Amino acid sequence: MNCCDITPGMLNRRISIQEKQTTTTATGGQDVAWVQVVAPFAYLKPLNGRERVFANRLNATGDTIATIHYRADLNESMKVVYRGKEYQIRSIINLEEADRFLQLVLERGVVQ
CATH number of domain containing 8: 2.40.10.270
pLDDT at 112 over 50: no
**Per-residue model confidence (pLDDT) at position 60:** 62
pTM of the model: 0.82
Domain that holds residue 67: 3-108
What's the average model confidence in pLDDT over 81-95?
95
- Model confidence band, residue 106 (pLDDT cutoffs 50, 70, 90): very high
The answer on pLDDT for 40 being more than 80 is yes
Distance from chain centroid for Cα 46:
13
Which regions of the chain does DSSP assign to beta strands (E)? 13-14, 16-24, 30-38, 41-54, 57-69, 79-82, 85-94, 101-108
Statement: residue 32 has pLDDT above 60: yes
Mean pLDDT of 1-5: 70
Using an 8 Å Cβ cutoff, are 80 and 17 in contact?
Answer: yes
3-class secondary structure, 3: helix
Q: How many domains does the chain have?
A: 1
